[in-house]
Structure formats: C-alpha cells, structure tokens
Structure 1
C-alpha cells in the first residue's frame, strides 16, 4: 500500500513538473554559418546596421552578419547563441554573438566574425579544422544581451550635420528587445514626432528641434511592447560621432 502511494505521488509530481521542464529548455533552430575575412578578427565598422566602431568591437568582436534575422534592421543588436553540430570539432556552448551587419552566404543565417567562428570549436585545433570547412551546420537560439556597466546610449551618427540633420543609433540595449520606432519631442507643437528608420539601426530627422533633444523609443520584447524615454536629453550642442548616456537600461 505504501509503495503504491509513493508511486502514485511520484507520477503526479512528474506530470506536474513535465511542462516546466519542457518549457525551460532552449529552443534551437537548425541552420548554417560561415565567416568573413577580417585583418584583426574583429567585426567591421561599415556594417549594414550603421553601428560603426561599436559594431566592430562590441562583445569583444564576437559579432555576426545575418540574413533573414536582419528583419529590415529591427534585428540589429540582437544576441544569439550559435553552436555547430559536428561532435568531433564543436564546443557544446558555441559562440555568443551580437548582430551588427546584414549578409548572405551559402544558405547561411550567420556570417560570423573570425573571433566568433573560432569560438565554435572545442579547442584551437578543432577551430582550425572548422575554418577549413568554411561553412558548417549550426543550431541557434536568441539569448538576452548583457552589457555590464553600460546604460543604453544614443550615438549621434557621423553623417549628422549640426544643426540641420540628426541621425542616431541606440546602442547597449540589453535583454531580448527590438527597437521598432523612435520619436523626438517637438516642444513648439507639444507632441512627439516620428523619426525615420534611415537604414539598419540608424534613425534620422531633418530639421531637428533646437535646444536639448528628448527622444523616446518603442521596444518589443518578453515584456510586450512599450515606450522608453531616457532620463537624459541629448544636449543642445550635440556633435556628430558623440555618444550620450540615457541613464536607463532594459532587462
């Protein structure tokens, strides 16, 4: 009788825990990955996302160009775990990359920087073998970005022309959040004015407001869709190439 009760209780526990166990597993998608040439193994400052130097060195240069995951630029800045599937050469954790560019390869979703591609291997010799393959079978899943010590920042794009044309890139966005829209506060009209997605992660506005510039941006992520307004404004004497701290961060 005691044995039967214990068996029944054990079965009930398994039934109750099974949905939690199933939903806690990461979901990976099968694909392919290759790499691009780089003189220093870092990313490229000329990527389609418009990140500039940030796109070259963020995440210690473990970055990637993507094809369908680019999603018209809204995929810029997303983070993924990418691991190859050859048990002879591949590390079980693979590489953690930040999307900074658009690129199409031989039926690939990822074109990795050399630093990221080498992280796929289980050891240096295995990485060398993967480089010889050129294209490898992989599986990937989206993961939360982590930028310890950094708030979200507004980077004024180098193409900006003070005071007539302002273009910004929003960087160091943590979590699993996509930026869908950016708006600038128009003080004279007392309303928010939409900025244009120029390309990639670059948002721009002709004839921006004079004085301090207040921005807000719409993000979609695990918490749904919401607007985020920075605590700090871009100063009235903003300069092309400068970055300004928002004093906010997302989960």
Structure 2
C-alpha cells in the first residue's frame, strides 16, 4: 500500500508540473553564445535534429545549435529570442533563432550560424566586433515560432525504405510547442502504433501500415498537453525525401 501511495503521489506531482514545463518563457535567462562557420553563412544540412536541407535556411538561416536546451531532441525546432550584452554593439531586439542542431561550446547555450550571430549586432561595424570576440554574454527566452502561411509539414526522411521502414520529420510547427510522442493508425488492428524517436526530430517505425497513413502527435504546448491528429496525411505510395503538407497548424 505504501508503494502504491508513493506511485500515486509521484504521478500527481508530474501531472501538476507538466503544464508549467510546457509554458513559454517570459523572463530572460543569462548565458553565453558563439557561432560556427559555413561557406554561405547559413545552417548545416547535417544537423543532429535531422532537418537536412530544411535546417539550413529555415528562418532565413538564423538557426542555432544548443546543448542544455536540446532535451534529447525535443528542443529541435524551438525558437528563442537572444540578445547580447556588449555595450554599444548589441541591438535591443537581438535575434530570433530556431534550433536545428546539437552543439557544445565554452559554457555556451547557443552556437549560432553566422547569419544569426550577425543579427545580434546594431550595425556591420558592431558585427565585426562581435565576430572578433568569438563568444559573447547573452540573455535569452523562448518565444513562439512563426511560419507565415504554412501548415505543418510531414517530411519522409531520406533514410526511409518503402514499404519496409518509415521515418518522418515534423516541420513548421508554430507557437511554443514540443512534439513529445508520435503514433500511426493501424487500420486492420484498429489501434495506434507508437513511433520511436530515432534521434533529434526524427521519428521512425519498421513495417509501417499499408495504405495512406494517419498520424497523431502529442503536443506539449504553452497551456496544455494534447493530441493532434492528421488524417491520411501521408499517401499510400509515399516516397523517401518527399514532404507532405497537412491542413493543420498549432498556435
């Protein structure tokens, strides 16, 4: 009985805390940031989130790698407002950057693409000062992602092999929302089959159901935890590398 009561107490604590863990971050947190180089100053197509080419130019290439904010890949796609603290050289608004990769720096929470890092500065001359310093003191907070006119897209990962193995990446998720679980509908068994988080934002499933696929995903949002369903969003003849737009979007 004591063990049972402890279990119930632990469950209730988790349920009470979960909405708080999902809320947007109003207060700024102090940290440090640096940047990584690339030939065109955009992101990298080999990021640990699994976004591929999408991860290079999402948010106009203003992207970042994170470590403490990675959260086992749940942090992929999250958006943050970041402002640096170098007097006379940092803009008041800073940069809004999307998480597309994992990376560890010298006590840094953010490793920006060059395009994102430059946005911290007030002007080109100040940008040169920030790049010369390499690492800057910053403050950050999580903010809603915005994708003008885009609904959520389900990208079939290039490593998928029709029809034996399916991996997907969920893209263009607006608002302050984390995808914490994904399931696919198995029509012949009349049940939802859980997909596995393979790595980053990539979810996979061996021997997926035949026919067009309906998916549902668990969203940890700014106010609640809920399931969102996308009916027959992936066609029966899906192809590796193809992206399928849904008719849904989150706030």
CA contact (8 A) 1:232 1:247 kept: no
Match of 2:132 in 1: 132
SS of the aligned residue for 1:214 comes to strand
Partner Cα separation in structure 2 for residue 152 and residue 169 of structure 1: 10
CA contact (8 A) 1:79 1:98 kept: yes
Query: 1:232 deviation in Å?
Result: 4.2
Query: Are 2:58 and 1:58 equivalent residues in the alignment?
Result: yes
Query: Are 2:235 and 1:240 equivalent residues in the alignment?
Result: no
Match of 1:213 in 2: 213
SS of the aligned residue for 1:233 comes to strand
Query: Are 2:158 and 1:123 equivalent residues in the alignment?
Result: no
Match of 2:175 in 1: 175
| TM-score, normalised by the number of residues in structure 1 | 0.89
Partner Cα separation in structure 2 for residue 87 and residue 150 of structure 1: 38
CA contact (8 A) 1:231 1:247 kept: no
| TM-score, normalised by the number of residues in structure 2 | 0.89
Deviations 1:206-247 (Å, cap 9, x if unpaired)? Answer: 000011111110000112100001144200000001000111
Ranked by relative contact order (alpha carbons within 8 Å, sequence separation 6 or more), the top structure is: 2
SS of the aligned residue for 1:248 comes to coil
Greater C-alpha Rg: 1
SS of the aligned residue for 1:33 comes to strand
Partner Cα separation in structure 2 for residue 53 and residue 218 of structure 1: 25
CA contact (8 A) 1:121 1:127 kept: yes
RMSD (Å) for aligned C-alpha atoms? 1.0
Match of 1:148 in 2: 148
Match of 1:79 in 2: 79
Query: 1:26 deviation in Å?
Result: 3.6
Query: 1:88 deviation in Å?
Result: 1.8
Partner Cα separation in structure 2 for residue 237 and residue 224 of structure 1: 35
Partner Cα separation in structure 1 for residue 103 and residue 26 of structure 2: 25
SS of the aligned residue for 1:131 comes to helix
Match of 1:166 in 2: 166
For structure 2, which runs of at least 5 residues remain unmatched after alignment? 1-24
CA contact (8 A) 2:33 2:138 kept: yes
Partner Cα separation in structure 1 for residue 136 and residue 232 of structure 2: 45
Match of 2:11 in 1: none
- Across the two proteins, how many residue pairs are aligned to each other? 227
Match of 1:199 in 2: 199
Partner Cα separation in structure 2 for residue 63 and residue 134 of structure 1: 17
For structure 1, which runs of at least 5 residues remain unmatched after alignment? 1-24
Consecutive aligned runs of 4 or more in structure 1 exceeding 6 Å deviation: none
